[in-house]
Amino acid sequence: MIVKADKKRLAVLVSGGGSNMQAILDNTLSGNINAEIVAVISSNADAYALIRAKNYNIPAFVCCLKDYSSPFERDNYILSILDKYRADYVLLAGYLGIISQNLVKKYKNRIVNIHPALLPKFGGKNYHGLNVHKAVIEAGEKRSGATVHFVDENIDTGLIIASQGLDVLPGDTPESLQSRILNEIEHKLFVSVVKDLCDDKIWVENNRVIYKK
Ligand code: GRF
């Protein structure tokens, strides 16, 4: 795969449908994001995201935790792919795996996750998929949304880059809230952050996110 020298090289980690990955992909192809997706890595062999990657001839890999002796070993394999494809940034787009220290260290401030809630609330080990939205509704929250953040050693605790909210509506179910957040917020928010990241408008200094809009 030949990538123009000034373009950033993105690796995308996925586990499911890959609609966020598709939004990023569409925007790299249109030229809105100055980058190319050079590899897709899935923790789930049946992820639809893998079919999306194949449709665009993007090198795609499966790394199921059960095939490795530990998350550390799995992430060593992921690191070997990132090195081979010389990834500048790693995007977690609906990736359900937990990133090990070896990967976080090597790609410090270069791994970005999108989380479907307003962090720091409703983040952490058990907050993924519909669980997040169920918890938001059960807590009687008036607002929810999505957050894009750098990935650190813990789950959903890394430095926040940007977030955007919407109203939780009376009668919202976990499914309806998930769908509105995904379609009304996540795709656009992730695209705008990744675009700015690839234009060198976002970086970390003294443990703070600098965002030159
Ligand atoms: C999104 O809600 C994302 O925030 C979360 O998992 C979901 C994945 O959706 N981490 P998709 O695979 O991008 O369609």
- Ranges of H-type helices in 30-144: 48-55, 71-84, 101-106, 130-138
Cβ pair 3, 36 in contact under 8 A = yes
pTM: 0.96
Is residue 115 among the annotated active site residues?
yes
Q: Closest Cα partner for 131 from 97, 175, 171?
A: 175
Distance (angstroms) between ligand 1 centre and the Cα of 93 equals: 6
pLDDT per residue as tens, the chain (213 positions): 666 678 999 999 999 999 999 999 999 999 999 999 999 999 999 999 999 999 999 999 999 999 999 999 999 999 999 999 999 999 999 999 999 999 999 999 999 999 999 999 999 999 999 999 999 999 999 999 999 999 999 999 999 999 999 999 999 999 999 999 999 999 999 999 999 999 999 999 999 999 998
**If phi over 0 gives left and psi between -120 and 50 gives alpha, with beta otherwise, what is residue 86?**
left
Residue nearest to atom 12 of ligand 1 (CA): 18
Residue nearest to atom 9 of ligand 1 (CA): 94
In sequence order, the 6+-apart residues with CB closer than 8 A to the CB of 145 are 117, 118, 163, 164, 165, 166, 181, 185
